[in-house]
A and B are shown apart, each in its own frame.
Chain A
Amino acid sequence: MSKRRRAVNAALLIGGLVVVWQVVSWLVPWLTGANALASPAETLRFTYGLLASPSFYPHAGETARAFAIALIFAVSLGVSIGTALGASRFAGEVGEPILVGIYSIPKITLYPIVLLAFGIGMPAKVAFGAMHGIVPIAIFTMGALRNLNPVFLKTARVQRMSRWQIASRVLFPASVPEVFTGFRIGFSLTLIGTLLGEMFASQRGLGYLLMQAIGLHNIRMITAVTFILVCVAVTASAVLWAVDRRLHRRIPAEG
């Protein structure tokens, strides 16, 4: 797909979403008599005001910090667990259903336990964010190591490479694309987890701002914070997606 075609598609998509948003924001008061959604123009104006007010930045900074720490935990623990389980076939067989099971359970039900363990504040948010991100990263890391093209290892052995050389020159580069896919998914989930943690377990941050606005029924604030979060999340995921595709193109999958 050409660059131009992709730009046109993106413009169509964004334009379509704005139109839907505008129509819904007209329809809702008309159908229900309640004001539940700020229009795109109103949201932009309010968002601009929010971004200009100094009281917004401590919240944004708090969320960014919590997210960054949670992501560090998610990546380091996820990659370690994935490597441990991917290194041997048997460990993988034992571990995979456990990981898939943990991935599928509604982790949000665990928030009271996280609060009891960490108290309200930064550690609980970080734990909640990391909890969401660790498992997908571990699953993809494990998959990357297990589905490695066997020719790579055979070639390495023929070349009489040492263990360390095999790990650093063959295993690591060959598994990077899949691990990155795990990172991309883990990134999104960690962000969502951190925000959820803030919604329940915090006095600061964007999640708290959202929860407070919900409590006060501040429609413009709800819409603006949601809008900012969606913009940040979509931009980050688009960048990660582009890197992901480039990495996958460089190394052909098993075959």
Chain B
Amino acid sequence: MTAGRVRLMITIGIVGVLEAMCRLGAIDRFAMPPPSEIMWNLGRILVSGQMWPAIAKTFANVAAAGAAAIVAGVALGTLIHRWAALRETLDPAFAAYYAIPIYAFYPLFIVVFGMGDLPQVLIGFMLALVAVIMNTLNGLDRVPRVLLKTARIQRLGRVSTALKVSLPFAAPYVFTGIKLAVAYSFIGVIGAELIMSRTGLGYEIGYAYNNFDNAVMYPLIVLVLTVAASVNAVFYVWEKKLLARRRK
């Protein structure tokens, strides 16, 4: 039996046990509706269209935060890699970065930028940025000298060396950073929406929770988790392929 099939069976098993526990009353209806009912309600919500504005807004913000972090992270990583003294100073900061509760800065962003989309995008961006920088640095560290020497012999400038030689070589490592950036953008944006916002899926989940509206809350949570997990799975497979090609 393949690993994938075992995984599928485990998933089906867990969902089945939850369903049975809910139906038999082992789990209180107020705590959690049965999975089949959650999926039914999710379908109903998606068809009714009432949540589409919130869904579109959240995913647009996640995409904006992720894309900005990837572009800025690769650019900053390439710059910092060139400048050894700066890197030596910043390395400990990068190592400590993910110990900082970034959400603590959210109220500051709200005061400065207002209650619009920008504070949430900024939180997602800040969470994602450093992962991209760190992985870009890691990839650039591994570029063989011989490639750089060849680039010099071919009289490539600094920018074209970075674009045509170093970054393509570092691609699989940068890719790890991109994958993390996507995950962190989700976490940042939706977390910020939960803490304080007026729209978006995080807000809707919080609103439904405050109103004991499990018929909306659980389907939306399942929606967020499914989308985040699917995006991540696509990147996971893609990354494995990239790495496998490199090994040949």
Residues on A lying within 8 angstroms of B by beta carbon are: 1, 5, 9-10, 12-13, 16, 28, 31-32, 34-37, 90, 93-94, 97-98, 100-101, 103-113, 115-117, 185, 187-189, 191-192, 195-196, 199-200, 210, 213-214, 219, 222-223, 225-226, 229-230, 233-234, 236-238, 241
Q: Which residues of B contact A113 (CB under 8 A)?
A: 32, 218, 221
Q: Which of B108, B224, B233 contacts A106 (CB 8 A)?
A: B224
Task: Tell me if B107 and A222 are in contact (CB < 8 A).
Answer: yes
Task: Tell me if A32 and B229 are in contact (CB < 8 A).
Answer: no
Q: Which residues of B contact A37 (CB under 8 A)?
A: 108
Q: How far is the CB of A181 from chain B (nearest CB, A)?
A: 11
Task: Tell me if A195 and B101 are in contact (CB < 8 A).
Answer: yes
- In the bound assembly, the distance between CA atoms of A185 and B179 in angstroms comes to 18
Interface residues of B in 222-237 (CB under 8 A from A): 224-225, 228-229, 232-233, 236
Residues on B lying within 8 angstroms of A by beta carbon are: 3, 6-7, 10, 30-32, 88-90, 92-93, 95-96, 98-101, 103-105, 107-108, 111-112, 179, 182-183, 186-187, 190-191, 194-196, 202, 205-206, 208-209, 217-218, 221, 224-225, 228-229, 232-233, 236
Q: How far is the CB of A230 from chain B (nearest CB, A)?
A: 5
Give 14 CB contacts A-B under 8 Å. Answer: A101-B236, A104-B186, A105-B186, A105-B228, A105-B232, A112-B206, A115-B209, A188-B98, A195-B103, A214-B195, A222-B108, A233-B101, A234-B96, A238-B95
Shortest Cβ distance from A211 into B: residue: B195
Q: Which residues of A contact B228 (CB under 8 A)?
A: 104-106
Q: Which residues of B contact A116 (CB under 8 A)?
A: 30-32
Task: Tell me if A98 and B31 are in contact (CB < 8 A).
Answer: no
- In the bound assembly, the distance between CA atoms of A171 and B111 in angstroms comes to 52
- In the bound assembly, the distance between CA atoms of A86 and B6 in angstroms comes to 16
Shortest Cβ distance from B62 into A: residue: A106
Contacts known (A13-B90, A241-B92); A214 close to B107, Cβ less than 8 A? yes
Task: Tell me if A188 and B224 are in contact (CB < 8 A).
Answer: no
- In the bound assembly, the distance between CA atoms of A45 and B99 in angstroms comes to 24
Task: Tell me if B100 and A230 are in contact (CB < 8 A).
Answer: yes
- In the bound assembly, the distance between CA atoms of A232 and B29 in angstroms comes to 41
Task: Tell me if A188 and B99 are in contact (CB < 8 A).
Answer: yes
Task: Tell me if B7 and A97 are in contact (CB < 8 A).
Answer: yes
- In the bound assembly, the distance between CA atoms of A1 and B32 in angstroms comes to 55
